[in-house]
Amino acid sequence: MSLVATALASQFDRVWAMIREAVDNTPDDEWLKTGPSGDNLTRPARHAFHVVQSVDRYLGHSPKDPPTSSRLDIEWETCPVELLPTKEQVLNYLEEIEQRLRVRLNGLSEKELEAPSEFDWTGATVTEHWMYVLRHTQNHLSILNTTLHARNLKRAAWR
């Protein structure tokens, strides 16, 4: 495994741990509720699910590839609240995608990391692609943590 792939895997491990903690810190009765603003997107279930689903979709080698998992194929922003996954479903999905990502990153050579990315909006190379995915994941973790803070709940600790 390349040094860059090792660093990416380590950073993703930290983010996954924070997401897991944020989900665990969300009481069951708050999981599907909007935040104080009443905004539909402040439901913890939406961001926790989206963050995992996004990585699942970016695990493909091209945007045309289907998600690596058929689990919970719903539109995170617009699906009815009753279709949003439970905390347990999100954590199980996270575990699955975390393992798939680790395998994918562990298998990347320096040459593969320097290759052009098929996901052109994420950057020119596969390295930039994975950095983009890491930034996207961290962004939604931040929103999830902000949502917890607005509810006076414990946020995930920085790692």
Mean pLDDT within 64-69: 74
Question: Cβ(43)–Cβ(33) under 8 Å?
Answer: yes
Instruction: Provide the residue ranges of all domains of the chain, joining segments of one domain with +.
Output: 3-150
> How many CB atoms neighbour CB 73 within 10 A?
11
Percent of the chain at pLDDT > 90 equals 77
| Fold topology of 3-150 | Four Helix Bundle (Hemerythrin (Met), subunit A) (1.20.120)
Average pLDDT across the chain, whole number: 92
Whole-number pLDDT of residue 38: 82
Q: Which residues pair with 125 in a beta bridge?
A: 116
Whole-number pLDDT of residue 70: 60
Question: Cβ(35)–Cβ(52) under 8 Å?
Answer: no
- Nearest to 61, CA basis, from 95, 96, 104: 104
Q: What is the pTM of this model?
A: 0.92
